[in-house]
A and B are shown apart, each in its own frame.
Chain A
């Protein structure tokens, strides 16, 4: 298999995802990065592994995509002083990943930002938790040290520090606003507060049970992460899940998408002081979650997707109940969309707020629904369309304006499309079983899973260890590449519009903090 006509030998991975792996040297990596944007490809993620127990050094893994599939490049680095070329100049989304990679493994991008990202002085600077010789039993005292935020100077400029604990029921993170009057001149984000050592934790779990941890990387995307993990595990184990399981997984994924959109469409209106919207949509979301409980035994569908298929079949009579509810919810959402569209005060807040223009979205590599609201027409359900999406024909929604109004419009349209998909899935559900046996993976087997969650594409890349263990597991949340977009699109807006703009993206803190 070849990508972009580059002289790299790729080995195709087994499984549902069209993906391939190849070894490169630094020059080949540079040439690939050079050719990628011209060919319309994108940077996906980067991570590292410690291979010194195999008599080598460290491996840098970089995942890219063209519309054909996922290309994982591996660059071997020496055990002493493992440095690699900085990729953030060409792919801004790599910047924070590179900082996190140094904190985890001590692998340094040459000449890049050296500030810590996940390490906040709470463990020593020479402790790299993902190194094989890092003692998992070690505990350290909490400490705090100043963080060098970029300062904005000038007459009347001052700073507003926000967080890590925010004013509402929200995840923790820090925002440093530099403002003049009400206007935001600059925003700098600092995250990592929720880092709880998930990558290291994976290594103490059996491969057949890692889906539970993957499903808790970001609780609102549990189906997307669990499916991506299972796709990766099934690829590594050479397991083909039954067709019915794939259709049921798609049913769950679309239900997760709708649940989040319903909650967010309400909450976005609430941040524009239209609490009617929140009350109405939270009621619909509650009805939706109760139907999840009745049909699958969990309000958020946690632990339903398991390696080999699905943990349980649809409850008896659930298909009819779900189809009926889809009709009822669609009627309600159409009425509410009419009210939103006609509400002058609401539209006044939505239109032009937090505008992310298409060119900037492309340069930053913004993906998922936020990307689609800024004319970035990427959706794995369409581009890759692994089963059952190849048979469903998803209609992608895009918008050019990139403001809060565009993101709300895309969310509404995605609710209607997912309701259509759910009815279609139920009508065409194949018979048979929903769970296949998972054979043990060969040591060193690599697998990748890539699923379009409600927020955007979720990647899981793992390598099997000996005797059914996990050697390494990298989870990538689309919030990595989308958070920097908020730093840009808030500029020139007023401080009180920040919650509204932020909520229109509703990015994850837990997902990238890991």
Chain B
């Protein structure tokens, strides 16, 4: 126990300041009202959906929880069910074999809801493109509010995309 506590104290607090929102990441005009976004922005719950990624974006989403980015300190956390979520964070081109599951997850998410498409694949279909097996970009399957490019996007870019989605435009 002594070693464990020593390790925690020795490392101290590593959290770095979060990024500012960037309106250029918007895919569509703001769909939710500012009043609603002010509520969501104080306690946002995200459901991650891997729609067919290479797993690279998932590594960076995991990194959001590490001490440097510390996403939970901003009042943002991940939930196990879309029914508990305000936002879907969707990675990958949407694999044809995931199309129905992605639509169901979106339908299961209660209104008002936000969708952030993650990575070059989520934004454009990326290197996999569209084919018999791939529906391409996320917005081909469900409505998308914000797109975060990158292969994979850094945790910093992911945070920026998430914060952009919940930024009231009048603020």
Contacts and interface: CB of A to CB of B under 8 A. Distances in A.
Interface of A: 118, 120, 122-123, 127, 129, 134, 136, 138-140, 142, 144, 164-165, 167-172, 192-198, 200-201, 212-213, 216-220, 222, 263, 267, 276, 279-280, 282-283, 285-286, 289, 299-300, 302, 335-336, 338-339, 342, 508-510, 513
B97 A122 contact: yes
Contacts of A212: 127
Nearest to B8: A276
A218 B55 CA distance: 6
A508 B78 CA distance: 22
A271 B51 CA distance: 24
Contacts of A200: 131-133
6 contacts: A196-B131, A197-B134, A198-B128, A212-B127, A220-B59, A267-B62
A300 B58 CA distance: 12
Given A123-B132, A198-B128, A276-B8, A142 B59 contact: no
Contact of A339 (B3, B59, B82, B98): B3
A192 B11 contact: no
Interface residues of B, number: 52
Given A289-B63, A339-B4, A170 B131 contact: no
A213 to B, nearest CB: 6
Interface in B1-44: 3-4, 7-8, 11, 14
A168 B47 CA distance: 8
Nearest to B5: A276
Contacts of A196: 52, 92-93, 95-96, 128, 131, 133-134
B151 to A, nearest CB: 7
B12 to A, nearest CB: 11
Top 7 A-B residue pairs of the complex, sorted by shortest distance between their CB atoms: A219-B56, A197-B133, A167-B80, A282-B66, A219-B54, A142-B99, A216-B54
B50 A172 contact: yes
B61 interface: yes
Nearest to B60: A299
B62 A339 contact: no
A308 B92 CA distance: 29
A494 to B, nearest CB: 19
